[in-house]
């Protein structure tokens, strides 16, 4: 079996039919579909059970709610395919998704450990393709070290939130043994969980194929998505990620060490914009932010002199306790 498709889901009843149907209509048939129900309460569970009754390729796993990392890991344990593909329960894929990926695998000089493919974000008022900042083609280990790893996490020549390959789980096909060894082992991580394993998987890969065909549709219409919910504890939760990636990526410090400060800085800045997106009281918000930074100690992860200029200025102001100045600046930039 070539592919194991894993759909971890929680309360996505309104989108689940479209997601599953987009997979079942594939012309390529050498796959299994593993639906991991992470304790849904909205009827999503029964939808999956009905599909499984009518198609022997489908297996449904019902589990107690434990978060997306737990659900993904459950799918890995159950997977039997040579490659694993992730699909979020509120997203969908193109009708030639598996066909194109299979062709990329068979046409490569050797079966790549990872296939990266194009994706597009679907918003209320627009569609936006996710950029892959690298040429299409097959990358062996030598080419990865030269062209991908030096810019994998952060490229200082680009905007601070850019990386050469979008660190999402769902725009890639992974050889199963890669995920078995390098999935996220800390199931407490709930902010930035994709970063907890995607970078590591790429760094340990012997070969990767990049294909820019748009094969995946990332749904930003879902108002219940974790990305759209306010989360006042983002920095505390982000700290778990920082602690994890610092340890897991330590063996690759000679390759990506210089990129990590920009990574930490950009994630802190992003979290602040999310936490105070709709704030009306800058003084109160600044006080709350100052306390959060003190409690978490998260700024210690960033060495200002090692970051890009824009990120470094913001982090320096935060380290000086000028939280209101930062929030005011982000408002002027229309970030909050």
pLDDT tens, position by position, 77-132: 999 999 999 999 999 999 999 999 999 999 999 999 999 999 999 998 899 999 89
Q: How confident is the model at residue 291 (pLDDT cuts 50, 70, 90)?
A: very high
Q: How confident is the model at residue 228 (pLDDT cuts 50, 70, 90)?
A: very low
User: In the chain, how many domains are there?
Assistant: 2
Q: How confident is the model at residue 6 (pLDDT cuts 50, 70, 90)?
A: very high
Does 125 lie in the same domain as 65? yes
What DSSP line would sit under 103-114, residue for residue? HHHHHSSS--SE
Does 318 lie in the same domain as 267? yes
Share of the chain above pLDDT 90, in %: 87
Which of residues 203, 227, 251 is at a domain's end? 227
Q: How confident is the model at residue 308 (pLDDT cuts 50, 70, 90)?
A: confident
Does 235 lie in the same domain as 112? no
Does 15 lie in the same domain as 142? yes
What is the domain extent for residue 89? 3-227
Which of residues 175, 203, 227 is at a domain's end? 227
Does 257 lie in the same domain as 208? no
Does 140 lie in the same domain as 121? yes
Cα within 13 Å of Cα(184), Cβ side: 29
Does 239 lie in the same domain as 210? no
Does 244 lie in the same domain as 201? no
Q: Give the pLDDT mean for 218-243.
A: 79
Q: Give the pLDDT mean for 207-228.
A: 83
Residue 78: other Cβ atoms inside 10 A:
14
Residue 92: other Cβ atoms inside 10 A:
22
Which of residues 227, 242, 259 is at a domain's end? 227
Model confidence at 277: pLDDT above 80: yes
Does 7 lie in the same domain as 145? yes
Does 281 lie in the same domain as 151? no
- In angstroms, how far is the first alpha carbon of the chain from the final one? 48
How far CA 185 is from CA of 14, 57, 131, 304, in Å, comes to 30, 28, 28, 30
Does 319 lie in the same domain as 206? no
CATH number at residue 93: 3.90.550.10
Residue 40: other Cβ atoms inside 10 A:
20
Q: How confident is the model at residue 158 (pLDDT cuts 50, 70, 90)?
A: low
**pLDDT for residue 160:** 47
Model confidence at 39: pLDDT above 60: yes
Judge contact between 190 and 271, C-beta under 8 A: no
**pLDDT for residue 334:** 86
Does 236 lie in the same domain as 210? no
**pLDDT for residue 222:** 72
């Amino acid at each position: 079996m070539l592919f194991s498709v894993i759909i971890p889901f929680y309360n996505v009843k309104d989108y689940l039919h479209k997601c599953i149907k987009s997979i079942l209509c594939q012309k390529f048939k050498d796959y299994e579909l593993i639906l991991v129900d992470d304790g849904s309460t909205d009827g999503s569970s029964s939808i999956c059970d009905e599909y499984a009754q009518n198609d022997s390729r489908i297996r449904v796993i019902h589990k107690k709610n434990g978060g997306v990392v737990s659900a993904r890991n459950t799918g890995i344990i159950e997977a039997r395919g040579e490659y694993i593909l992730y699909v979020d329960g509120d997203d969908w894929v193109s009708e030639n998704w598996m066909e194109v990926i299979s062709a990329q695998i068979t046409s490569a000089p050797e079966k790549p450990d990872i296939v990266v493919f194009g994706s597009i974000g679907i918003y209320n008022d627009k569609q936006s393709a996710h950029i892959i900042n690298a040429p299409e083609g097959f990358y062996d280990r030598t080419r990865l070290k030269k062209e991908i790893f030096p810019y994998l996490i952060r490229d200082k020549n680009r905007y601070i939130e850019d990386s050469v390959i979008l660190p999402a789980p769902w725009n890639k096909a992974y050889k199963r043994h890669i995920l078995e060894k390098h999935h996220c082992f800390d199931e407490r991580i709930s902010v930035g969980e994709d970063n907890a394993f995607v970078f590591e998987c790429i760094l340990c890969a012997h070969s990767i194929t990049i294909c820019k065909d748009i094969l995946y549709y990332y749904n930003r219409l879902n108002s219940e998505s974790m990305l759209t919910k306010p989360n006042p504890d983002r920095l505390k939760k982000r700290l778990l990620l920082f602690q994890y990636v610092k340890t897991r990526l330590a063996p690759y410090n000679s390759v990506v060490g210089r990129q990590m400060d920009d990574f930490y800085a950009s994630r802190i800045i992003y979290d602040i914009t999310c936490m105070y997106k709709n704030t009306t009281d800058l003084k109160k918000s600044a006080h709350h932010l100052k306390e959060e930074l003190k409690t978490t100690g998260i700024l210690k992860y960033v060495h200002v002199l090692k970051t890009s200029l824009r990120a470094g200025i913001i982090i320096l102001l935060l380290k000086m306790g000028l939280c209101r100045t930062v929030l005011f600046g982000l408002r002027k930039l229309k970030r909050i």
